[in-house]
Copies of this chain bind each other. A is one copy, B any other.
């Protein structure tokens, strides 16, 4: 009751600044100060000061009363995009997947019970539900999420199964822990998952885990619509391509991160 609000060594202004950045969710192109204030729940002068700060840093700009983030905001992610980071290593192989399948390819990791998309490569035809880099989707209703859950340790999986309420998105969404356990078992056996209309109607996806040193560091998937791809086509033609890409990404990742392999340093 004392540690969650502000624990003396946590900086309020930074948390507020981040909340303002998150108010730009990518859907609304430009936001007014008042709209942001309403979203995040701070007073307007506070939001204004935060925006002016970001503007001074070059991360935001205002055009006649409406605010936008500038491309320079990408700078904040550079620290994660190391030479050996998962997206950095994955992109070349994802390119291969897009070329061979003609569909959109994504790479994601498990983050707080959700799939965080760290890399994405679209085919020329855009999909109805566009999932941009940085966005999260519920793990229990996505193919990538389930292949990652399938490789979790027993304790971590139990925690997920007990803590997460399984939101229902479509009639095909897996809703019970029992059904999820069953599905995860078959994923472990087959090595892939196909999710048909579990999150969005009309959408289908296949995913394979990227295994490095025995742990699933991410999942690679292909998403499409049910009119373009059937479950059989996914299994027969796309899963092998994904499997090959996952293996090559893992190998390249191992090569790029030699210090992670085997035991600790020296």
Contact = CB atoms under 8 A, between A and B. Distances in A.
A88 B132 contact: yes
A83 B26 contact: yes
Contacts of A86: 71
Given A29-B82, A134-B81, A124 B92 contact: yes
Interface in A42-98: 45, 48-50, 52-54, 56-59, 69-86, 88, 91-93, 95-96, 98
A95 B78 contact: no
A201 B80 CA distance: 27
A109 B78 contact: no
Contacts of A161: none
A11 B50 contact: yes
Interface string A107-118: 001011000101
Interface stretch (A13-21, A176-184, A223-231): A13-21
Interface in A8-34: 9-15, 17-18, 21-27, 29
Nearest to A132: B81
Contact of A78 (B26, B53, B81): B26
Contacts of A15: 53, 56-57
A167 interface: no
A198 interface: no
Given A80-B24, A95-B121, A49 B116 contact: no
Interface of A: 9-15, 17-18, 21-27, 29, 45, 48-50, 52-54, 56-59, 69-86, 88, 91-93, 95-96, 98-99, 109, 111-112, 116, 118, 120-124, 130, 132-136
Given A25-B79, A26-B80, A74-B118, 18 more contacts: A9-B48, A10-B53, A10-B56, A15-B57, A18-B59, A22-B75, A27-B83, A71-B85, A72-B111, A74-B116, A78-B132, A78-B133, A81-B132, A83-B132, A91-B122, A95-B99, A95-B121, A99-B99
